[in-house]
Structure 1
């Protein structure tokens, strides 16, 4: 039995889940002030890296589970992230079959998936009447800072997490 797969990967997922919540509470006001919002999507970054450097099917399981837990814990509306996280994994898998998996292209896939996630959530919230933020306000006050934050997290996490996933994949014998 592979202890990295059984223990370390779930612990990393839990740590990233907690880090995402803590970072939104601790750093939002300090870095961007009250007029700018940032939404950490560290789980999206983690799932993109897993889909790129590890097993797609296992990553899909993580996406469904993390999406459900995220919806229950953070949003209160079941189904938004439960649908978006697996979509991100699926799209990443399709992109990476065509693209090389170097840091620049994986970073672009991360940015694309963060934009997709934010746009889908914004569109859904507008549709059900939860927000009245205009599209220009959304892009100006929320989207750009969210992209920058998640890109910074990607740059910090890329090399250590990629190394971990490649070792895990190698130990699985694939």
Structure 2
């Protein structure tokens, strides 16, 4: 009798594995490959309230600590370690920001989910990297899964959800 459920279970597993609309982190992707909206976890919102980090607070970040002061730089789909160049509220320069890079759309999208102040425990946050005037646009020579961008630094801004 249990064998009658095997095809159904196999179909459900196959559907979940083959679903291309959600990344491993649970973020839905738009048609162009850029990430869709995502809520900021309640724990991150709580930590940001305690730290007095408000939506729109910003600083400067080195996008990839392995490519500091380089131009242009190549970013890859997946995890990224960035570093604050200037304080962001109570977070001092050299604080590491950990997040994810998406290169599928016309410009790079970087979302940060964690901050790590030296000699302290990592803490959840929600922030994004941004540059004005299209400076996060990928260069035409970027290959799939990568983005070549002109600058190694960008603005980083606190958000309460990702849009």
TM category (shorter chain) comes to under 0.3
**Larger % of helix: which?**
1
Give the TM-score normalised by the residue count of structure 1. 0.25
What TM-score do you get using the length of structure 2 for normalisation?
0.26
* Structure having greater relative contact order (Cα 8 Å, sep ≥ 6): 1
Q: State the structure with more CA Rg.
A: 2
